Amino acid sequence: MLCARIVKYYSAKRFVEETGKALSEWGSTHDGSMFHYSSGMQAVMLALGICDKVSIFGFGKSTLAKHHYHTNQKAELRLHDYEAEYAFYHDLVKNPRAIPFISDKFSVFHGVSVIL
């Protein structure tokens, strides 16, 4: 649930800032109720919850790379907002207090390094 809330927040924020459109228009551009975080985001959140130090490598992709290793699909899925997830990873390192829905008493975000 926390993963979903964080990614939707970053996606909606990015949508409003970049397009100037109303927040109510966000759903139609991101497959609405189908929108969800990527498995990579889920893995990062799991690691943050159980590890003392987390290093994140290999996020982002070449236009030549397949979306998943087990398919020939190259296009990104609209139901994920990878750029929003990258903004979250950036805040993990540079500005963890900007991350919403996290209590000030929750200090899991120490020892995080990200190389995108």
3-state secondary structure of 54: strand
- Say how far apart CA 46 and CA 65 lie, in whole Å: 25
On average, the pLDDT of the chain sits at 79
- Say how far apart CA 48 and CA 109 lie, in whole Å: 7
- pLDDT at residue 109 tops 60: no
This model's pTM is above 0.85: no
Amino acid at 56: I
CA atoms within 13 A on the CB side of 104: 0
Taking only the tens place, the pLDDT of each residue in 46-98 is 888 888 888 887 666 666 766 666 777 666 666 678 889 889 988 888 888 88
